Amino acid sequence: MTERTNRTGMAIASLHGVEKTYGTGAAMVRALRGVDLDIRGGELMVLLGPSGSGKTTLLNIVGGIEPATSGRVTVGGADIASLDDAARTEYRRTSVGFVFQFFNLIPTLTALENVQLIAELVGGGEPGRSELVLRAVGLSDRMHHFPGALSGGEQQRVAIARALVKEPPLLLCDEPTGSLDLETGRRVLALLRSLASNDGRTIVIVTHNSAIAAIADRVVTMGSGQVTDLAANPAPAAAETLEW
Amino acid sequence: MRVLSRKLTRDARRRRSQLVAIVVTVFLGVALYAASFDAFRNLQVSYESLYDGLSFADVTLVGGDPEAVARAVAEIDGIAAVETRTVAETPLRIGRADKLLGRIVEVPPDRLPEVNSVMVLQGALPSSLSRSDVLVEQHMAEHFRLGVGDRLEVLTPTGWSAVEVAAVVASPEYLWPARSRQEVLTSPGDFGVLFGSGALIEGVSAESTRSEVAVRLADGADGGAAIDEVVSLGTAAGAVSTFDQTDQPSNAALQEDVRGFGEMSFLFPVLFLGAAGMATSVLLTRLVISQRAQIGLLRANGFSRRTIFGHYLVFGLAAGLLGAVPGAVAGSLLARAITGLYTDAISVPITVIEFRPSTVAAGVGFGLAAGALSGLGPAIRASRLAPAEAMRAAGSAAPPRTGFVERVIPILKRLPAPAKMVLRGIGRNRGRSLATGTGVVLAIVLILASWGMIDTMQILLARQFEEVQGQHAQVFVERIDTLSELRSLDGVAAVEPAAQLPVTILAADTRYQSSVIALPPDTAMHTFRMLDGGDAPLPAAGLYVGRALRSLAGIDVGDTFTLVFGDTRLEETVAGFVDEPLGTTAYMTLPALAADLGAAEPTVVNAAMIRYEPGADLAAMRAVVVDVPGVRAYVDARALYDTVQRFMGLFYAFVGIMLAFGAVMAFALIFNTVSANIAERAGEVGTMKANGVGRRIIGRLITAENLLLMLLSVGPGLVVGHLAAAAMMSSFSSDLFRFDAVIRPTTYVFTALAIVVVGLASQGPVLRRLQELDVAQIVRERSL
Ligand SMILES: Nc1ncnc2c1ncn2[C@@H]1O[C@H](COP(=O)(O)OP(=O)(O)O)[C@@H](O)[C@H]1O
Ligand SMILES: [Mg+2]
């Protein structure tokens, strides 16, 4: 317990007064209305909220996929809001890993190649690294299969391996179990939990499923574009015990 | 980016058949360019080498005292050689059955001319050419099967007199045997050229003779300046008129033909490569759209815009390169065949075939450029996709809504559900429908552009020779008395007096060589089709002139212009414009012509138009008519028609190849768009199958949607196709040939039908594969 508290300490990402609006005039949508939030190094944060509450928007802004309309977003001390497109691309390449609800694997590449594609992008690292990561997510025997021949859970684990191969300081997962059945979902969550607990990775999981909050170190609840609640969870549950 | 390029090759393999179709279109476009451009250049080089080898005159001075003119120009710098000669227009007779307009050109008795030499194709030049020896120009020799030792007759004051063929020759002045700048189209059976000694020419009874001084410039002489000097000194020394190579009848006709060819050799490849580019662009756009989520994912992971841009641009470049390289090589080879066929068809004795690396390079360049340009739009589109697409793309199928068609035609809303599905399928995926529609339109244009040209040529020539001209033959006679003799012949149905005279038309600052045909006011031998529609009788006063004159001289109905007959200048009015595709003949009545010339009507008659009884044997009639002593020469309307068709041989060959290429390309395009249309429906079909919809119904729904889409696109395709044919035709037109696109209704129907049938057939393989696809696999990949 103390061990983990030590690990989750400094804020590696901070949002101050972040607003996001889409469109103009009558069609204007205020997706985020002043969000203040710290993401601490080594924690597993669950971002909870009903559909349309702005979770994905928030995640995209932290991940450098979309710019905020106003407010400040600092990650690792740098202000993301002021980056131009090229610098934002660089930021995404080096600083964040993404996992999506729809796994978004490239169908014409095998599981291994999907991971290698990203490994190559960030400079490869040592040979065999992609295999290593795939083994770590439990896919040692399905590496050479194409996505069309993998189950949803397997595809999502490939997606996680793809995000991890970059060694990103921040792993952002948008509804990672949204397309999975309970059992498979649990396994993916267990993987994420162990990545935070055992490897010290910083992970944000976005979900509308409140059951998942149980495995978090901290739970942020959102509603109508604002943070409505922030609760620490001193004793995160094991993913295997979840029910929904 | 090893893995990224692996993705590229696998994506390409997945869309293999469409990619092949695109490569084929680029291949055809480039091959066509290389073939036509090289053939065009080969022809020019072939002419030039023949001209050089035979010292074709750079400038010819007509009239005056030839010796004085020759002396005057011989001193000029840059002159290689000067020859003086006499040219006589005189009738010829071959056997008893053939009389024709002839020309005898003087050659030195003991050597080849230094200017306008001849190439001996058969026989040999006698060491001394006697007055009974002639050299026969090859087209005439071929037509009448004349060989060395054969005899023919020339007209002398004492009657027909025999001469003997010493050799068959080719001449740079008669590569295309044109009688004059205006009478470019004469049948070799009606006009022939002999070369003979001065003594022979002195002995014949000629209609006209003229002296000429032919001048050849030295290699490397400043052509323009030297010619100007020759003209000014020659004219000062007494020459009456001059012409250079541009106005030399044979060369002018060939250049005219080759020029049209040259323009088409540019326009058609542009059309083809444009279509190929458009097809590539459509395919790549569809690819980018279907890979939105993948692109978003790559961008979210930090792939740069430039990498994404390059990734998709490479598709276009690869298609361009794969098609262009073999296309350029195949085109170069095809150029050889085309050149050979053409020089063979018009009997050019020297065929120069060159391999031009520059053409191959340009062809590859054009193919690459087409590929790059067509890949540009989709690649930019891909690079601009927001990374957030990765999150949203999967869930963002466009919401179903009432289709466009239904909104326009509300009654369709009452259709049964499956029919509505078909209609809405078209409206729902606009991009896909538009892509298919574009493919159909392009395909129709490719076919119609060339088929329309062939139709136009055939329809208008047939109209001219079968409807406008009523005579079977036009004969030249010495006196009007001969007409009654002709009328009394068995098999002759009608004979009308006529006059045909060479004239110069002067209007504004235009000077135009033409000829006037005068006919009886109520002539039944010619139908006057007016430019403003409808037929009209000959005007009581004034002339009908060819429509080319309207744009050429800027004159309109009611305007006056000057007509020059020899020494006579007449002020005439334009009574109307005839819509005739060939030449620029002017028409008037015989009484008007006689009045204008201040002569009695019978004395101006120098020709007769003859129509035979139905079913008459044309050859036999020719022999009978030609045997009438007063008949000087015979022009066979049917043979002229054949000559025109032969002159258009290159046109037909070229456009025929375009049609073949266009058809292959159209089918590739249709295959491409239709199969892309279906291949994109994997998710849709998977969902339908997963929901228990039977294969047969799925097939029927997709077929119905595609069929409807094709039918909707056929109309615009036919309109654009007609416009393309018209544009091509007008690029081919000149003052001597003018054709507005006329396309047979059946051509439209067949084109449309072929496209739709091929379109439906193209569905087959992809549809079958889709229906057999593992639903599970589709559903698993669905998110992408
Ligand atoms: N590109 C966009 N244009 C307009 N509105 C958008 C766009 N993206 C998201 N929104 C709106 O912003 C709000 C928040 O969306 P989102 O962050 O996706 O919610 P969540 O992920 O919590 O379901 C929603 O109302 C959504 O409709
Ligand atoms: Mg969301």
Q: Give the pLDDT of residue A50.
A: 94
Q: Give me the residue label for tokens 């009997």.
A: B347
Give the ligand at the shortest distance from the Cα of A53: 1
On whether residue B635 sits in a domain, the answer given is no
Q: What residues in A contact B387, CB-CB < 8 Å? A: 65-66, 92
Mutate to test the interface with B, among A60, A108, A110, A150 (most CBs of B within 10 A): A108
Q: CA of B675, closest CA in chain A: separation in Å? A: 19
Say if B694 falls within a structural domain. yes
Q: How far is the CA of A206 from the centre of ligand 1 (A)?
A: 14
Instruction: Read off the pLDDT of residues A156-205 as tens digits, 9 standing for 90 and up.
Output: 889 999 998 988 989 999 988 887 888 888 988 998 999 999 988 999 99
- Partners of B781 on chain A (C-beta within 8 Å) are 107, 147-148
Q: Which domains does chain A have, with CATH numbers?
A: 38-56+99-239 (3.40.50.300)
Does B620 share its domain with B647?
no
Distance CA B729, CA B268 (A): 12
Contact B631, B474 (CB under 8 A): no
* Three-state DSSP state, B634: strand
Ligand 1, pocket-test mutation among A56, A65, A98, A173, most atoms within 8 A of CB: A56
Contact list, B4 vs chain A (CB under 8 Å):
117, 120
Q: What is the mean pLDDT of residues B284-291?
A: 84
* Residue B583, phi-psi category: left (phi > 0), alpha (psi -120 to 50), beta (remainder): left
**What are the tokens at B663?**
């058809």
In total, chain B counts a number of residues equal to: 784
Residue B692 has pLDDT above 70, yes or no: no
Return the ligand number nearest the Cα of A101. Answer: 2
Report residues whose beta carbon is within 6 angstroms of any ligand 1 atom: A 22-23, 29, 31, 49, 51-57
Is residue B623 within 8 A of residue B634, CB to CB? The reply is no
CA nearest B391 in A: which residue? A100
DSSP codes of every residue in A134-159:
HHHTT-TTSTTS-GGGS-HHHHHHHH
Residue B215 lies in a domain: no
Residue of the CA atom closest to atom 26 of ligand 1: A52
Please give the mean pLDDT across all residues of chain B.
Answer: 84
For residue B302, list chain A residues with Cβ-Cβ distance below 8 A. 89-94, 121-122
Q: How many CB atoms lie within 10 A of CB B730?
A: 13
Nearest ligand to the C-alpha of residue A222?
A: 1
Q: How many CA atoms lie within 13 A of B139 on its CB side?
A: 27
Same domain, B361 and B457: no
pLDDT bracket for residue B246 (50, 70, 90): confident
- Cα of A176 vs centre of ligand 2, distance in Å, is 11
Chain B: residue whose CA lies nearest to A113: B3
Of A38-42, B524-528, B685-689, which gets the smallest average pLDDT?
B685-689
Poorest-pLDDT segment among B293-302, B453-462, B692-701:
B692-701
Of B344, B378, B396, the last residue of a domain is B396
CB contact (8 A) between residue B302 and residue A94: yes
Interface of B with A (CB under 8 A): 1-4, 6-7, 10-11, 14, 293-294, 296-297, 299-305, 386-388, 390-391, 394-395, 777, 780-781, 783-784
Q: Which residues of B363-407 form beta strands (DSSP E)?
A: none
- pLDDT computed for residue B653 by the predictor: 78
CA dist., res. A63 & res. A88, Å (int)? 9
pLDDT score recorded for residue A1: 36
Model pLDDT for residues A74-101, shown as the tens digit of each residue: 998 888 878 888 888 889 888 899 898 8
B446 and B492 inside one domain: no
Determine the distance in angstroms separating the CA of B388 from the nearest CA of chain A, rounded to an integer: 6
pLDDT for position B458: 85
Residues B188 and B278 placed together within one structural domain of the fold = no
Query: Which residues, in sequence order, are bridge partners of residue B505?
Result: B512, B563
- How many angstroms separate the CA atoms of B273 and B256, rounded? 26
Measured in Å, residue B467 CA sits from the centre of ligand 1 at 74
Q: Which residues of A touch B10 (CB under 8 A)?
A: 108-109
pLDDT reported for residue B427: 67
What is the secondary structure of B41-66 as a DSSP string?
A: HHHHHHHHHHHHHTT--SEEEESS-H
The count of other CB atoms within 10 Å of the CB of residue B167 is 22
pTM reported for the whole predicted model: 0.76
Same domain? B749 vs B614: no
Report pLDDT digits (tens) over B578-589. 888 776 788 999
Residue tagged 């190559």 (tokens) = A120
The total of structural domains in chain B comes to 4
- B105 and B142 share one domain: yes
pLDDT for res B687: 66
Strands B241-244 and B59-62: antiparallel
Q: List b or e across B112-129, with b for residues whose CB sees 16 or more CB atoms inside 10 angstroms.
A: ebebbbbbebebebeeeb
A104:B394 CB<8 A: yes
pLDDT of residue A214: 94
Domain that holds residue B351: 1-57+255-396
| pLDDT for res B517 | 92
For the CA of A60, the nearest ligand: 1
Q: Nearest Cβ partner of B300 from A65, A120, A148?
A: A65
Distance CA A138, CA A3 (A): 26
Closest residue by Cα to atom 21, ligand 1, is A56
CA distance A189 to A171: 13
B568-578 and B543-546 beta bridge pairing: parallel
- What is the per-residue pLDDT across B721-761, written as a single tens digit (0 to 9) for each? 899 888 888 877 776 677 788 888 998 999 889 888 888 88
User: Is B36 in contact with B362 (CB distance < 8 Å)?
Assistant: no
- Single residue among B603, B629, B655 that ends a domain in this structure: B629
Per-residue pLDDT for A2 more than 50? no
Do residues B347 and B259 share a domain?
Answer: yes
Test the B interface: residue of A62, A121, A144, A150 with most B CBs within 10 Å: A121
* Mean pLDDT, range B141-168, rounded to an integer: 93
Rounded mean pLDDT, B79-102: 89
**Would the CB atoms of A106 and B1 count as touching at under 8 Å?**
no
Q: Are A16 and A79 in contact (CB under 8 A)?
A: no
Q: Is B540 exposed, middle or buried (0-12, 13-18, 19+ CB in 10 A)?
A: exposed
CB B765 within 8 A of CB B21: no
| Domain membership flag for residue B65 | no
Are B557 and B487 contacting, i.e. CB atoms less than 8 angstroms apart? no
Statement to judge: residues B52 and B108 lie in one domain: no
Structure tokens at B125: 């030049």
Tally C-beta pairs within 8 A across A and B.
Answer: 100
Best to test chain A binding among B10, B15, B298, B301 (most A CBs inside 10 Å): B301
Show the tokens assigned to A95: 């600083």
Determine the straight-line distance between the first and last CA of chain B, rounded to whole angstroms: 21
The ligand 1 atom at the shortest distance from the C-alpha of residue A225 is 14
Residue B658 has a pLDDT of: 79
Render pLDDT for B178-197 as a digit per residue (tens, 0 to 9).
888 777 777 888 899 999 99
Model ipTM value: 0.85
CB-CB neighbors (< 8 A) of A106 in chain B: 7, 294, 297, 784
- Please state the atom number of ligand 1 nearest to the C-alpha of residue A27: 4
Q: Would you state the pLDDT for residue B690? A: 63
Q: What is the pLDDT of residues B708-723, one digit of tens each?
A: 888 888 999 999 989 9
Q: Which of A101, A9, A118, A120 is nearest to A51 (CA)?
A: A101
Assess if residue B228 is contained within a domain.
no
B620 domain-assigned: yes
What is the structure's pLDDT at B80? 92
Query: Which residues partner with A161 through β-bridges?
Result: none
pLDDT, tens only, B638-667: 888 887 887 777 778 778 887 888 888 777
pLDDT band for position B122 (50/70/90)?
Answer: very high
- Residue pair B560/B572 in contact by the 8 Å Cβ criterion: yes
The phi, psi pair for B239, rounded to 5°, reads -65, 140
Distance B689 CA to ligand 2 centre (A): 29
pLDDT in tens, A43-72: 999 999 999 999 999 998 999 888 899 999
> Does residue B473 sit within a domain?
no
Q: How does residue B368 score in pLDDT terms, banded at 50, 70 and 90?
A: very high
Q: Which protein residue's CA is at the shortest distance from atom 12 of ligand 1?
A: A31
d(CA B387, CA B298): 8
Do both B436 and B390 map to the same domain? no
Q: How far, in Å, from the CA of A49 to the mean position of ligand 1? A: 13
Is the CB of residue B247 less than 8 Å from the CB of residue B178? no
Q: Identify the pLDDT of residue B395.
A: 43
- Per-residue tokens: B699: 């097939």
Cβ atoms of B676 and B763 within 8 Å: the answer is: no
**Chain A residue numbers touching B304 (CB-CB < 8 A):** 86, 89
Structure tokens of B638? 């049917």
Nearest CA to ligand 1 atom 4: A22
* CA angle (B122 as vertex; B118, B128 as ends), nearest 5: 65
Which residue, B594, B629, B664, sits at the end of a domain?
B629
More confident residue, B431 or B562: B562
What are the DSSP calls for chain A, one per residue? -HHHHHHS-SEEEEEEEEEEEES-GGG-EEEEEEEEEEEETT-EEEEE--TTSSHHHHHHHHTTSS--SEEEEEETTEESTT--HHHHHHHHHHHEEEE-SS----TTS-HHHHHHHHHHHTT--STTHHHHHHHHTT-TTSTTS-GGGS-HHHHHHHHHHHHHTT--SEEEEESTTTTS-HHHHHHHHHHHHHHHHHH--EEEEEES-GGGGGG-SEEEEEETTEEEEEEE-SSPPPGGG---
In a domain? residue B622: yes
Residue nearest to atom 20 of ligand 1 (CA): A52
Decide if pLDDT at B415 tops 70.
no
Distance CA B411, CA B494 (A): 64
Q: Where are the beta strands (DSSP E) in B225-312?
A: 241-244
CB A106 within 8 A of CB B7: yes
**B612 and B494 share one domain:** yes
3-class secondary structure per residue, B142-204: HHHCCCCCCEEEEEECCEEEEEEEEEEEECHHHCCCCCCCCCCCCCCCCEEEEEECHHHHHHC
- Of the listed ranges A161-175, B4-18, B409-423, B443-457, the least confidently predicted one is B409-423
For residues A33 and B774, the model is more confident at: A33
Residues B462 and B386 in one domain: no
**Tokens matching residue B649:** 């041989």
If asked whether residues B620 and B657 sit together in one domain, one would say no
Tokens describing residue B621: 């009639």
What DSSP string describes B589-608? EHHHHHHHHTS-HHHH--EE
Tell if the CB–CB gap between B388 and A108 is shorter than 8 Å: no
Q: Determine the residue of chain B that is closest to A57 in CA distance.
A: B388
Taking the C-alpha atoms of residue B255 and residue B190, their distance in angstroms, rounded to an integer, is 23
Dist. CA B304 → ligand 1 center (Å): 25
- Per the CB < 8 A criterion, the answer to whether B587 and B519 are in contact is yes
Q: Which of B315, B680, B784 is the best substitution to test chain A (most A C-beta atoms within 10 A)?
A: B784
Q: Do A150 and B304 touch (CB under 8 A)?
A: no
Return the bridge partners of A171, or none: A97, A203
Residue A110: pLDDT over 80: yes
Show residues of chain A in contact with B11, CB under 8 Å.
108
